Amino acid sequence: MIVTLAPDAPASTVAALSAAAAAAGLTARTLPDGRGGASLGVDGTLAPDLLDLPGISAVRATHKPYMLASREACARSVVRVGDVTIGDGRPVLMAGPCSVEGREQIVATARAVRAAGADMLRGGAFKPRTSPYSFQGLGEEGLRLLAEAREASGLPVVTEVMETEQVELVAAHADMLQIGARNMANFPLLKRVGKTDRPVLLKRGFSATIEEWLMSAEYILAAGNPNVVLCERGIRGFDPLLRFNLDLNAVPLAKELTHLPVIVDPSHGTGKRSLVPAMALAGIAAGADGLIIEVHPDPAHALSDAAQTITPTELAHIHRKVQALHATLAAAEQPEPLLVELEVALSA
Ligand code: PEP
Ligand code: MN
């Protein structure tokens, strides 16, 4: 059940609803509704007499199974990572290597992506590799190097956490926790990151439906962490020329269904560096709130995902084009005087 509270709802109403939920063995979670009020999501049904309390503006007994993530609970949410805001209309650029490989590599990349226009640094310390014989990441040392790269560049850091037991360790070094595609349905891990105060980047599993992806986001929200950003990173296709198919339908569809920001990963979504610029722009055109892109000073020699990794110079070109596309799209949102006149004439 979703109970919508007006902006001026008395605190006593929320307290009474929460107490009644607890007494019935239910859990109630509040989150801002994006319209100045709040939504209270209850995993069950409250007695009808409670729903006459002052300040309740709507009650939804039926709703999406991803109650807290749905547009019914909130119009739009903005997620903050340090000074960076995701979902407020300006596209955010996260960039960096697939893996942290050493001090010089990550610090140089952090400075270079910053100069190229990135807002955040990405880099994996714990890597989910298909082969156990591939480079597995530097682990805890990689986390320390990411923290050094943050100091050197001023960019907040997003990095993957793969195991429940490592959540606190990764959260101590990172500004944002990444849940990788292979762990999208690792429910204990989702619950654990839901208990931290770190924003979470939730990648879509490459064979997950959009509803399954939103249900995974719901696990994090239901555990108490409202700061979730979704990332479309490509799904399995049948063409061996492409590593994955970047599913850009997912962007406007997710935005219809959820208030959470959505970003696009054209690196994993294509697996091919020559396709990254076009698909980055396509992601923004589809309405994404940002991009996450793999960048290395010497892409051909990257220890992981070399084939899809671009140079900082190529990132700078993408950044410039994204800015231009965003400005053009924003300008086109303004009412067109001729169209306004036409609408007035037609309605007269
Ligand atoms: C990554 O970001 O390097 C990564 C492994 O991503 P995904 O989980 O989307 O494969
Ligand atoms: Mn990668």
Distance CA 197, CA 326 (A): 31
Q: Name the residues around ion ligand 2, CB cutoff 5 A.
A: 98, 305
Going by alpha carbons, the residue nearest to atom 4 of ligand 1 is: 180
pLDDT at 345 over 90: no
Type of residue at 102: G
Ligand 1, closest atom to CA 98? 3
Distance, in Å, from the CA atom of 142 to the CA atom of 151, rounded to the nearest integer, reads 14
Q: What is the pLDDT of residues 18-73, one digit of tens each?
A: 999 999 999 999 999 988 999 999 999 999 988 899 999 999 999 999 999 999 99
Helix-strand-coil split of the chain, %, nearest 5: 40, 20, 40
Res. 343 pLDDT band, cuts 50 70 90? confident
**How much of the chain, in percent, has pLDDT values that exceed 90?**
93
Q: Is the pLDDT of residue 207 over 90?
A: yes
Residue 348 pLDDT greater than 90, yes or no: no
**Cα 191 → chain centroid:** 16
What's the token pair of residue 131? Answer: 């082969």
Bridge partners (DSSP) of residue 84 are 81
Q: What is the pLDDT of residues 287-335, one digit of tens each?
A: 999 999 999 999 999 999 999 999 999 999 999 999 999 999 999 988 7
Confidence at 161, pLDDT banded by 50, 70, 90: very high
Ligand 1 center to 37 CA (angstroms): 36
Q: How far apart are CA 275 and CA 97, in angstroms?
A: 17
Task: Read off φ and ψ for residue 158, nearest 5 degrees.
Answer: -115, 130
pLDDT of 5 strictly over 90: yes
Q: Does the pLDDT value for residue 338 go beyond 80?
A: no
128 CB within 6 A, ligand 1:
yes
What's the CA dihedral at 42, 48, 50, 56 to 10 degrees?
70
**Does ligand 1 come within 6 angstroms of the Cβ of 268?**
yes
Atom 8 (ligand 1): residue with closest C-alpha?
A: 180
- The CA distance from 161 to 141, in Å, is 14
Residue 34's pLDDT is: 87
Taking residues 229-239, what's their average pLDDT?
98
Residue 17 has pLDDT above 80, yes or no: yes
| 91-131 confidence digits (pLDDT tens) | 999 999 999 999 999 999 999 999 999 999 999 999 999 99
Q: Is 204 in the pocket of ligand 1 (CB under 6 A)?
A: no
Distance 99 CA to ligand 1 centre (A): 10
Per-residue confidence band for 340, with pLDDT thresholds at 50, 70 and 90: confident
pLDDT tens, residue by residue, 140-159: 999 999 999 999 999 999 99
pLDDT for res 263: 99
Q: In the Cβ-directed half-sphere of 307, how many Cα atoms lie within 13 Å? A: 9
pLDDT of residue 341: 82
Candidate from 122, 129, 160 with most ligand 1 atoms within 8 A of CB, to mutate: 160
**Percent of the chain having pLDDT more than 70?**
100
Single-letter residue type at 95: A
Of 342 and 1, the structure prediction assigns the larger pLDDT to 1
Going by alpha carbons, the residue nearest to atom 2 of ligand 1 is 98
The encoded tokens of residue 24 equal 């019935």
- Considering only CA atoms, which of 251, 325, 311, 301 is closest in space to residue 276? 311
Q: Give the contacts of 74 (CB within 8 A, at least 6 positions apart).
A: 31, 32, 33, 34, 39, 259
